[in-house]
Amino acid sequence: MLSTMKRGAWADDLTAIRDASLDGVIRARTLEQLGVARSTVWSRCRPEGPWQRILPGVVLLHNGRPSTTQRYLAALTYGGPDCLLSGYAALDVAGYSTADRNDVLLLVPAQQHRRAVSFVDVERTCRMPDGLRRGHLRYAPPSRSLIDVARRLSSADRCRAVLTSGLQRGDVTVDQLARELGDGPNRGSGLPRSIVRELGDDAHSVAELQAQKLYASSGLPRMVHNEDVFGPSGEWIARPDGWLDEVALAWEIDSLRYHFTAEAHAATLQRRARMQRAGIVVVSTLPRQLTSDPRTVLADLRAAHRLACVRPRPAVFLREAA
């Protein structure tokens, strides 16, 4: 419960005002309840003043550039207690890389009237998800946030990159993304629906999807993807991105970006060494080569296939489905 100060007494000690704020973000109405006259609030929010009006009815208690967290808090303060961050803002709070996106998507209940303003985009929805919290920040779960981003994209590659980021982190499954799309509005759903269908084929990165499309033009035998390969005694060897079983050829799409940590990349190198010790011919491709130099990638694959055809096939096999 806020205790109203004597008119003008707030200026003698700003502690109460700072304590009532969230990282310097406070409602103008709260300031009035603390004894700051409305005219004083807006006077202090003039360009030369010590505060700023960051959103309608929301004040930031300094006149410098707001931090990302302050922008998120301001949006939530503007939206009210039932709103949630979604889209890039929610993914940022959840720890995703969002390339410093400036827009903030706010989900508000359908019966609540809030308009898009400044850096805040508002979506009124009848499907308010159960929110997550990090400190004072309330945000939609990854499945909703990812789809809310995807519905606003026009680039297929960017849409794949966003959706596969959730799959790679283990935050969502393809089925969860498909359900979220099915339950949501049709507006903007065409592209993410097609991407989710592609992701259902067990390709878990943009690079792997690009590789599969390029390989289709190679004229080489059919390749399977993400299948476990075992040695003659049943020991597991690897799960390469692509596999030609007839000649025991593996295709690996290598990039630290898709393996997240140095430890995971080291595991990739160890897996490749196991394959080579088992006699498997391994082709390694960097993701950027798929688009910058596809002819060389295809030439490497065809040369490796010729090499695999002339050497005895090693005793390695795919495990048959149960």
Q: What is the pLDDT of residue 5?
A: 44
Q: Is residue 78 helix, strand or coil?
A: helix
**Residue 235, Cβ neighbours under 10 Å: how many?**
10
Instruction: Please tell me the number of Cα atoms within 13 Å of 168 on its side-chain side.
Output: 21
Q: What is the pLDDT of residue 260?
A: 44
Tens digit of pLDDT for each residue in 167-185?
878 898 888 999 999 898 8
Residue 321 has pLDDT above 50, yes or no: no
Tens digit of pLDDT for each residue in 122-149?
999 999 999 999 999 999 999 999 999 9
| Domain positions in the chain | 9-60, 80-140, 146-199, 206-318
- Among 46-60, 94-108, 262-276, top mean pLDDT goes to 46-60
CATH number for the segment(s) 206-318:
3.40.960
**Would you say 55 and 43 are in contact if contact means Cβ atoms under 8 Å apart?**
no
Tens digit of pLDDT for each residue in 265-301?
677 788 889 999 999 999 999 887 888 899 999 999 9
Q: Return d(Cα 93, Cα 81) in angstroms, integer.
A: 18
pLDDT tier for residue 109 given thresholds of 50, 70 and 90 = very high
| Residue type, position 74, single letter | A
Distances, alpha carbon 49 to alpha carbons 8, 70, 116, in Å: 17, 19, 26
Lowest mean pLDDT among 80-84, 107-111, 269-273: 269-273
% of the chain residues with pLDDT over 70: 89
pLDDT tier for residue 322 given thresholds of 50, 70 and 90 = very low
Tens digit of pLDDT for each residue in 196-226?
887 775 455 667 778 888 999 999 999 998 8
**Residue 106, Cβ neighbours under 10 Å: how many?**
25
Q: Return d(Cα 272, Cα 91) in angstroms, integer.
A: 33
pLDDT tier for residue 62 given thresholds of 50, 70 and 90 = very high
